[in-house]
Amino acid sequence: MNIEAKLRRASLIIATGLLLQFLSLLPLHPLAFIAFVGVGVPVMAVGVILFLLSLVADSGLPGK
Partner 1 sequence: MPLPIVLTLIALSLALAVIVGFRPNLTRTRSGKMVAFVALLVLPVVATWGGFEEHMDRATSTQFCLSCHVMSEFGQSLHYDDISYIPAVHYQNHFVPPDHACYTCHTDYGMFGTEKAKINGLHHILVQYFGTVPKPENIKLYAPFPNATCLHCHLGARKFEEVNGHHKTPDMLAKVKSGQISCISSGCHDTVHEVGDLKDAKFWSAPK
Residue closest to 9 by CA, chosen among 59, 57, 48: 48
- Does residue 18 interact with partner 1 by CB under 8 A? yes
Asked whether 61 and 55 are in contact (CB, 8 A), the reply is yes
Asked whether 44 and 4 are in contact (CB, 8 A), the reply is no
- Does residue 48 interact with partner 1 by CB under 8 A? yes
Pick the closer one to partner 1 by CB: 19 or 57.
19
Residue closest to 1 by CA, chosen among 63, 50, 45, 64: 50
Pick the closer one to partner 1 by CB: 52 or 57.
52
Residues engaged in binding partner 1 (CB under 8 A): 3-5, 7-8, 10-12, 14-15, 17-19, 21-22, 24-25, 28-34, 36-37, 40-41, 44, 47-48, 51-52, 61-63
